[in-house]
Amino acid sequence: MNRRNKKNSAVNCAKSFYTNKINSKWISAFAKFLSLCIFIPLIAYLLTGCATRQHYVQGLSRSSGKYCVKGVWYHPQKYYDYDKTGFASWYGPNFHKHAKAQGEAYNQYAMTAAHKTLPLPTIVKVTNLENGKSVVVLVDDRGPYKHKRIIDLSASAAKELGVYNRGVAKVRVQALCKESHALSVYLKNYSRRKGNRTWEDIYRQEIGCRAGFRQLTVLSRTVRRSNAEEINRAKNATTITNLMKHR
């Protein structure tokens, strides 16, 4: 009896040892799987969140609520970030001096545009992918509502971009977030200085000229640096030639 009990106890110990070992393997494997399920999406979320940081609207914004056109609801976005490719069209004489979505009268000779969901105002760079031309325009109206068209240009902007005669062209639209934010903040904080000026006038006079001045400053610095490098090269070349002559 004692021998049988000893055998049974040994068998039970072995069974318990192997079962515990198997269970520990399953537990460790499950723990690894759970950690992967939690940490990988978290890291991906953090990385994408840092990479696609959004510039939210903080100043003046008009026509920011959802609206319906021909049974389709549109939800204007709350941030300036935008970079898409699609088709551009233009609108002119039939809408000239009519009220826009932000309240001002439409001027077909101004450098403006209409977009379905971008905040009003937003400054965008529009590039014609067929001829390489690009313009910077102020988005201050809603539209277009035809299929695959992402922006409606004023007549002047369409002429500058090479879209006027064709009517439609494939373009890339990129929002200029810093300029857009600066304009909306200016319109909110300095509304008394607006006077009879339009949004486009304020952008050209207050925001665009400063951005252009910064670009000219950077360009002049680059030119001066390149000139200095050329002068140094010439000096080195003359020094080397003089040394070769004395040899």
Condensed to tens digits (0 to 9), the pLDDT of residues 210-223 reads: 654 444 344 444 44
Q: What DSSP designation does 92 have?
A: -
| String of DSSP letters for 136-155 | EEEEEE----STTEEEEE-H
Residues near 195 by Cβ (< 8 Å), separated by ≥ 6?
none
Q: Fold for 67-191, please state it.
A: Barwin-like endoglucanases (2.40.40)
Q: d(Cα 51, Cα 74) in Å, to the nearest integer?
A: 27
Task: Give pLDDT tens digits for 103-142.
Answer: 999 999 999 999 999 999 999 999 999 999 999 999 999 9
Residues 6+ positions from 134 with CB-CB distance below 8 Å: 125, 126, 127, 128, 161
Listed by start position, the domains of the chain span 1-53, 67-191
Which has the higher per-residue pLDDT, 142 or 50? Answer: 142
What are the tens digits of pLDDT across the range 164-194?
999 999 999 999 999 999 999 999 888 777 7
